[in-house]
């Protein structure tokens, strides 16, 4: 019994070795298998015409041109593959290789990006860009490597506006409204600060939530508001420019470090090149979205006076204090200084 089993083990070892040799020979002969291009699956949640959609597509095209046959990029826009929340897990487990996720949605993993959600901290994209290029901004790329996310770059979307069922000229007009927000505790505090009712929700659910009255209002950029058609289901948009939406372009660090050096450095160069291109045109894509919304006549755009805008600013300012222990008062002061005119 024992002998038989030893023999059959020996036979199966020999058989296994033969099979392995045959397989190795076969694979060795099959050029297609050994030279199969590295696949980068890149899901994101916005439409192809948005700043992120265009940047992801340009990245795909440049990789196709410069790493032809060696790397293939599959871009899945509009949340067709998964939500942002799911993409964080999928990246960590190696099911996808690249994401460009809203900085607000990293709140689940770390507090380090909360500064980008503080209301009225960054007046415009140029100021955000200066801060992102600072030493602190660069440190953020490595700050969540232990959660299997390595940052390569920042991409802008734009500044946020409030949309809802009433003309919101002052924070008092927002009181009592249910606001859809991204998955961020800072944004939750921001809405509570104006006596609204914040509801964290994935982007793909917002249109229906506005349509059915599950939420009354939302905050987003012009390009997202246009491409997700929120202007069809909200009567007014107030141009507050009160916050920022931008993205961390990230890869799984194990995947990234496993790449041949020449491929990794070329991909890195392409990401950097695309970032410059994308960040230069983000503002004009948002402006075009605003103009198309106005032309549609479906949402009325409310422009605030300086005094009205200051009212919003004042009402939301206590949010800074609430998160200053998490973020660091020094960092908030440093970021604020980027937006002040030089003396
Ligand atoms: C994004 O721009 O990627 C997402 C924005 C949102 O969820 O509202």
- In the chain, where the domains are located: 37-336
31: CA distance to ligand 1 center in Å? 42
- Can you tell me which residue has the tokens 């897990």? 89
Which of 75, 161, 203, 228 should be mutated for ligand 1, with most atoms under 8 A from CB? 203
Q: Does any ligand 1 atom lie closer than 6 A to the CB of residue 203?
A: yes
Q: Does any ligand 1 atom lie closer than 6 A to the CB of residue 150?
A: no
151: three-class secondary structure by DSSP: strand
Give the burial string for 53-80 (b: 16+ CB within 10 Å, else e): bbbbbbbbebbeeebeeebbbebbbbbe
103: CA distance to ligand 1 center in Å? 9
Q: CA–CA separation, 283 vs 109, rounded Å?
A: 29
- Can you tell me which residue has the tokens 């599950």? 214
Asked whether the beta carbons of 263 and 71 are under 8 A apart, the reply is: yes
**CA-nearest residue, atom 8 of ligand 1:** 203
Q: Does any ligand 1 atom lie closer than 6 A to the CB of residue 282?
A: no
**CA-nearest residue, atom 6 of ligand 1:** 203
137: which strand partners? none
Output the tens digit of pLDDT for each of the chain's 343 residues.
333 333 332 333 334 333 433 444 444 434 334 579 999 999 999 999 999 999 999 999 999 999 999 999 999 999 999 999 999 999 999 999 999 999 999 999 999 999 999 999 999 999 999 999 999 999 999 999 999 999 999 999 999 999 999 999 999 999 999 999 999 999 999 999 999 999 999 999 999 999 999 999 999 999 999 999 999 999 999 999 999 999 999 999 999 999 999 999 999 999 999 999 999 999 999 999 999 999 999 999 999 999 999 999 999 999 999 999 999 999 999 999 998 877 6
Eight-state DSSP code of residue 321: H
Of all atoms in ligand 1, which is nearest to the CA of residue 203? 7
pLDDT for 62 = 98
Q: CA–CA separation, 239 vs 216, rounded Å?
A: 17
- Tokens representing 36? 């199969």
Half-sphere exposure (Cβ direction) of 116: Cα atoms closer than 13 Å: 33
- Tokens representing 182? 């991204």
Q: CA–CA separation, 132 vs 113, rounded Å?
A: 11
19 exposed, middle or buried (CB, 10 Å; 0-12, 13-18, 19+)? exposed
Asked whether the beta carbons of 252 and 97 are under 8 A apart, the reply is: yes
Of all atoms in ligand 1, which is nearest to the CA of residue 102? 3
Give the full edge-to-edge strand order of the sheet including 150-159: 98-102, 244-251, 150-159
pLDDT for 34 = 59
101: CA distance to ligand 1 center in Å? 8
Q: Which residue pairs, CB below 8 angstroms and at least 24 apart, start in 140-144?
A: 140/112, 140/113, 140/248, 141/248, 143/110, 143/112, 144/106, 144/109, 144/110, 144/112
Q: CA–CA separation, 143 vs 5, rounded Å?
A: 54
Beta strands in 182-296 (DSSP E): 197-200, 217-220, 236-239, 244-251
- Tokens representing 115? 């500064």
Question: What's the chain's Rg over C-alpha atoms?
Answer: 24
Topology classification of domain 37-336: D-Maltodextrin-Binding Protein; domain 2 (3.40.190)
**CA-nearest residue, atom 7 of ligand 1:** 203
| CA dihedral (39, 23, 260, 92) positive or negative | positive
65: CA distance to ligand 1 center in Å? 29
260: CA distance to ligand 1 center in Å? 33
Q: CA–CA separation, 167 vs 302, rounded Å?
A: 7
- Can you tell me which residue has the tokens 């508001």? 225
Q: CA–CA separation, 290 vs 24, rounded Å?
A: 59
Residues in the chain: 343
Provide DSSP, 215-233.
-SEEEE-HHHHHHTTGGGS
Query: What is the pTM (predicted TM-score) of this model?
Result: 0.89
70: CA distance to ligand 1 center in Å? 31
């Amino acid at each position: 019994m024992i002998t038989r089993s030893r023999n059959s083990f020996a036979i199966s070892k020999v058989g296994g070795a033969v099979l392995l040799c045959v397989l190795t020979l076969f694979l060795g002969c099959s050029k297609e298998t050994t030279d199969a291009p590295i696949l980068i699956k890149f899901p994101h949640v916005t439409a192809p015409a948005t700043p992120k959609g265009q940047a992801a597509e340009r990245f795909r095209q440049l990789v196709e041109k410069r790493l032809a046959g060696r790397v293939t990029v599959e871009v899945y826009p509009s949340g067709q593959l998964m939500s942002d929340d799911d993409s964080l897990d999928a990246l960590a487990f190696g099911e996808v290789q690249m994401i460009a996720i809203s900085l607000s949605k990293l709140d689940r993993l770390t507090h380090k990006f909360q500064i980008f959600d503080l209301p009225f901290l960054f007046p415009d994209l140029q100021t955000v860009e200066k801060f992102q290029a600072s030493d602190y901004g660069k440190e953020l790329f490595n700050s969540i490597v232990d959660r299997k996310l390595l940052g390569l770059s920042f991409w802008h979307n734009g500044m946020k506006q409030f949309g809802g069922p009433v003309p919101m000229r002052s924070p008092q007009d927002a009181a009592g409204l249910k606001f859809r927000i991204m998955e961020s505790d800072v944004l939750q505090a921001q809405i509570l600060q104006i006596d609204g009712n914040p509801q964290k929700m994935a982007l793909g659910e917002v249109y229906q939530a506005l349509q059915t009255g599950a939420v009354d209002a939302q905050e987003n950029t012009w390009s997202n508001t246009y491409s997700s058609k929120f202007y069809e289901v909200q009567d007014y948009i107030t141009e507050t420019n009160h916050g920022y939406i931008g993205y961390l372009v990230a890869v799984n660090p194990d995947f990234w470090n496993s790449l041949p050096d020449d491929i990794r450095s070329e991909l890195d160069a392409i990401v950097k090149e695309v970032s410059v291109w994308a960040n230069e045109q983000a503002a004009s894509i948002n402006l075009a979205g605003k103009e198309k919304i106005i032309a549609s006549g479906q949402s009325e755009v409310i422009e605030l006076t300086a005094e009205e805008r200051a009212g919003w600013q004042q009402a939301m300012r206590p949010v800074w204090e609430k998160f200053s222990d998490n973020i660091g008062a020094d960092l908030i002061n440093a970021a604020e200084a980027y937006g002040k005119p030089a003396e």
